[in-house]
Each structure stands twice: as C-alpha cells, then as structure tokens.
C-alpha cells in the first residue's frame, strides 16, 4: 500500500506529466521536443528508483516514446534520415550534431515514428494492461517487424518469453492477397480516412469560428486571417487527395472487373 508521501509524489508526477504532454503538443522545434523527452525520462527514472509502481513508471515511459516519435517525424521532414547530411529545404546547412542528436538516435526515433498510430496505441495499451515495462526496445522490435513484413496481419512481439499479437487493423493486409487486391483495399481505406478528415475539418472550422466570435476576435486581425488561411489550405489539400483517390478507385474497379472479383 502506498504511503501518504508516495501518494503525494504520484499526484505531483501526474501533474508534471500533464504539463509535459501539453508542452509536447505545442512544441515547434526539436529542442522543445527533446526537452519533453528528457523530462519524461527523468520522471520515469524517479518512479522506478523510488518504487512508485509500474503504472506510474509507464505513464512517463509512454510520454517519452511519444516525444521520440514526434522527434522522428521532425527529423524525417527535415530530410536528416539518420545521417549527417544537410537539409536543403531552407537553404541552411543543418546537421544532426547541430541539433544535439547523434546518428543512432536519429535512426531509432525515425524507426519508432514509422509505426502506425493505431499500432502504437495498441502496443501501449497491452503493456499497461499486462503491467509490463513500456520501452523503446519493445516499440523498435515492432517497427522492425512491420518494416520487414509490411503485409502481415499481425506482429508477434516477443516479451519475457511470451508472444502476443499487435493488431495492425486497416493499415496492413493478409499476406495471401494479390498486389491488385492490396492496392484496392488500401485505396478504399485511405478514401474512408480522407472522408473522416474532411468531416473533422468542417467541425473544426465551425468550432474555430464560434470560439473567435465569443472571444471577439476581429475577422480582419492577423491571427484570425492566419487561422482561416491554414484551414483553407488543409481543405484544399484534402480535396486534392480525395480527387486523386477517386481516380485510383475508378482504376481499381476496372481492374477488379477485369479480374472477375466483382460483377
């Protein structure tokens, strides 16, 4: 049973983690992301060292992995893929060492970021549920298996001598289907996701307008115009993606009829 002191420490750690999680959401630079990762690791190590329990330890470990995945996405977008090459996107020579990151960290974080979000959430849920330690090593094993077997329906993750399956849901397909069937399946799934994203965009646009009106933000203010511009760009991108997927769907239907999959 936890002592009053331990309960107080646990509560304070949860408060600190919530604050760090908000910081990660707002992070705009690799430095800010690394700061959240360092903070989460400090909380995780303290929970382990002071025997606050695996649940508390895993809350911090989960946030640490989220920060590493975010850093991996950031590095991928900068085209610094595990090496020391310069980013050409902004005309400025940026190297990994300038960011305080080594090649190994860059490669690992980008590999972690390659795991689909639903698979990552399933991995975290199972670890919490079975009270196993959430770790980068466990996530990397899954990432490597997905990379090496991209069209398997599940990934067997070996942990403490026991296998368990992490469902890949709609992201991955059974290994016994043809390439055309895989393509048709993926196009359909992507179309559904884009449709859902457009619905969310419409709801978000309405919420933003409502919030701005209540806050009496002038429609011609810099902030309001920037918000509307970005929302408009997102909508245009979604429309372009939907149009492209519709073309792919039409092509896929022709192939399916040709191969006798549909009448």
Cβ density class 144-182: b for 16+ within 10 Å, e for less? ebbeeeeeeebbebebeeeeeebebeeebbeeeeeeebb
**pLDDT of 63 strictly over 90:** yes
Q: What is the pLDDT of residues 161-189, one digit of tens each?
A: 333 344 443 333 344 445 555 555 456 65
Pairing of strands 154-159, 162-167: antiparallel
For residue 124, what pLDDT is reported?
Answer: 94
pTM above 0.85, yes or no: no
Residue extent(s) of CATH 1.10.287 domains in the chain: 179-258
Q: Average pLDDT, whole number, for the chain?
A: 76
Q: What is the CA radius of gyration of the chain?
A: 22
Sign of CA dihedral 35, 40, 45, 51: positive
Question: Distance between CA atoms of 126 and 123, rounded to whole angstroms?
Answer: 5
More confident residue, 69 or 211: 69
For residue 162, the model assigns a pLDDT of 35
Instruction: Tell which wins on pLDDT, 178 or 159.
Output: 178
The DSSP bridge partners found for residue 157 are 164
Sequence-distant (6+) residues with CB within 8 A of 44 are 57, 60, 61, 64
179-258 has CATH 1.10.1060 classification: no
37 vs 246, residue with greater confidence:
37
């Amino acid at each position: 049973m936890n002592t009053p002191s331990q309960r107080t420490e646990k509560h304070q750690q949860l408060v600190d983690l919530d604050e760090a999680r908000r910081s990660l959401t707002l992070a705009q630079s690799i430095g800010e992301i690394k700061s959240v990762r360092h903070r989460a690791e400090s909380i995780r190590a303290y929970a382990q060292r002071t025997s606050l329990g695996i649940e508390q330890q895993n809350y911090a470990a989960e946030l640490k992995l989220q920060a590493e995945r975010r850093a991996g996405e950031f590095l991928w977008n900068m085209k610094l893929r595990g090496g020391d090459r310069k980013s050409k996107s902004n005309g400025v020579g940026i190297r990994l060492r300038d960011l305080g990151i080594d090649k190994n960290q860059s490669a690992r974080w980008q590999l972690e970021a390659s795991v689909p979000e639903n698979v990552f959430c399933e991995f975290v849920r199972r670890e919490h549920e079975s009270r196993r330690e959430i770790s980068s090593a466990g996530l990397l094993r899954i990432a490597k298996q997905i990379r090496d077997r991209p069209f398997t329906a599940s990934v067997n993750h070996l942990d403490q001598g026991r296998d368990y399956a992490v469902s890949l849901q709609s992201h991955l397909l059974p290994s016994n289907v043809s390439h055309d069937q895989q393509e048709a399946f993926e196009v359909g799934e992507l179309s559904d996701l884009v449709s859902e994203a457009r619905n969310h965009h419409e709801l978000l646009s309405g919420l933003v307008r409502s919030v701005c009106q209540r806050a009496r933000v002038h429609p011609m203010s810099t902030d309001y115009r920037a918000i509307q511009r970005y929302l408009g760009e997102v909508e245009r991108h979604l429309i372009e993606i939907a149009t492209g997927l519709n073309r792919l769907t039409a092509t896929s239907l022709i192939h399916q009829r040709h191969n006798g999959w549909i009448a």
